[in-house]
Amino acid sequence: MNLAQFPRRGYVKTPTPIEFLPNFSKALGGKVNVYIKRDDLLPGCSGGNKTRKLDFCIADALAKGADTIITCGAVQSNHCRLTLSWAVHEGLDCHLVLEERVPGSYNAEASGNNFLFQLLGVKSITVVPGGSPMLDEMEKVAEKLRAEGKKPYIIPGGASNEIGALGYVGCAQEIMQQMFDMGINFDHVFVPSGSAGTHAGMIAGFVGNNMNIPMSGIDVSRPGDVQQEIVYNLAQKVLNKLGTGIEMPKDKVVCYGDYYLPGYSRPNDAMIEAVKLLAQTEAILLDPVYSGKAFAGMIDLIRKGNFAEGSNILFLHTGGSPALYAYMPTFRQ
């Protein structure tokens, strides 16, 4: 699939590494071989998966003459951190709309990404209640800025539209080349599944390149059946944008919706175990909202014997470790 037909800024200059996790694999019994795709090491302030998506979204914004970026996310949003950081890099203003999905959870003095928003020089932060119509809320900010003579461009939460998801088509193609270079075939791939752009782009890339590797999304915010439909619809839009003529097979989109409970960004014991286990076996940091819960889901499915002995499993690490510092009491209990 030809991604060169779409403008991008070139933020991703080299492939992120795929690393074998020998100590972690041994800690799970040593029956399967677990690898990790280190998208936590992508460029941008403190790294993370959104850089791949913003590579395309900000290129589109600049092509349309924007001088200001507006985006949204939860109160500790990694997407907002990275959008702000790339806006700073490009000399663009950036305004954030934060959704208080857990009532009372926003604290302007908080650590983690909240601190980084201020350090990076965010132009404004608007906090809205959980369940607010976020596109409408961002449009309100855009209207005010237009009245001031600015040219705002709205990037949806997670940069999860058919433009941003192209970044993860690129990641799928990158993985395909790395598999060839490393001489390894993966039997299964796990991805965190939230705003859906990463999952949808990856599965569109896998299907479009005939990779024939099963992929599971571990949901971080919704029940599996709801998430599955969102991912499926976006993946189809991505395939259409690429002009593939491919109809996304519904059975390729698999989402596990049990591991995010008791709710988005709310800690659970499995997430805490997963974060500690990877840190203490491989010195790799997960985040408590996305990669931590997705990794916990993968651990559970491996422990349940879902994979044949000797299977090679790949986990896509989407980053987000700065949010850990806002959850220190959780890990010190």
182 and 106 assigned to the same domain: no
Number of domains in the chain: 2
Q: According to the model, what pLDDT value does residue 108 have?
A: 87
User: What are the tens digits of pLDDT across the range 220-256?
Assistant: 999 999 999 999 999 999 999 999 999 999 999 999 9
Q: Give all strands of the β-sheet with 33-38 in edge-to-edge order.
A: 18-20, 33-38, 312-317, 188-193, 215-219, 255-256
Cα-based torsion angle of the residue sequence 9, 189, 220, 242 in order, rounded to the nearest 10 degrees = 40
Does 90 lie in the same domain as 28? no
Instruction: Quote the CA–CA distance of 13 and 20 in Å, as a whole number.
Output: 22
Residues 119 and 201 occupy one common structural domain? no
Q: In one letter, which amino acid is 210?
A: N
233 and 288 part of one domain: yes
Q: Point out the domain boundary residue: 159, 187, 215.
A: 159
Which pLDDT value is given to residue 104?
87
DSSP tag of 186 = -
Which domain range does residue 11 map to?
Answer: 3-48+162-332
Instruction: State the Cα–Cα distance between residues 289 and 36, nearest whole angstrom.
Output: 18
Same domain for 183 and 281: yes
Q: What is the CATH number of the domain that holds 169?
A: 3.40.50.1100
Of the residues 140, 159, 178, the one at which a domain ends? 159
Q: Catalytic annotation on 77?
A: yes
Pair 166, 291 in one domain: yes
Same-domain check for residues 174 and 290: yes
pLDDT tens-digit profile, the chain (333 residues): 899 999 999 999 999 999 999 999 999 999 999 999 999 999 999 999 999 999 999 999 999 999 999 999 999 999 999 999 999 999 999 999 999 988 888 998 889 999 999 999 999 999 999 999 999 999 999 999 999 999 999 999 999 999 999 999 999 999 999 999 999 999 999 999 999 999 999 999 999 999 999 999 999 999 999 999 999 999 999 999 999 999 999 999 999 999 999 999 999 999 999 999 999 999 999 999 999 999 999 999 999 999 999 999 999 999 999 999 999 999 997
Side-chain half-sphere exposure of 110, counting CA atoms within 13 A? 20
What pLDDT was estimated at residue 103? 87
Decide if 271 contacts 292 (C-beta within 8 A).
Answer: yes
Tell me the C-alpha distance between 79 and 81, whole Å. 5
- Are 284 and 210 in a shared domain? yes
**DSSP designation for 32:** S
Catalytic residue among 25, 46, 77, 105: 77
What CA–CA distance (Å, rounded) separates 324 from 112?
7
Cα–Cα dist 36/41, whole Å: 12
pLDDT tens digit sequence for 151-182 = 999 999 999 999 999 999 999 999 999 999 99
- Which of 159, 184, 213 is the C-terminal boundary of a domain? 159
**Based on the domain organization, do 154 and 44 belong to the same domain?**
no
Does the predicted TM-score (pTM) go above 0.85?
yes
Query: Is 232 in the same domain as 327?
Result: yes
How far, in Å, CA of 68 to CA of 152, rounded? 4
Pick from 136, 165, 145: nearest CA to 240: 165
Clarify whether residues 319 and 217 are in a common domain.
yes
Q: Are residues 33 and 167 in the same domain?
A: yes
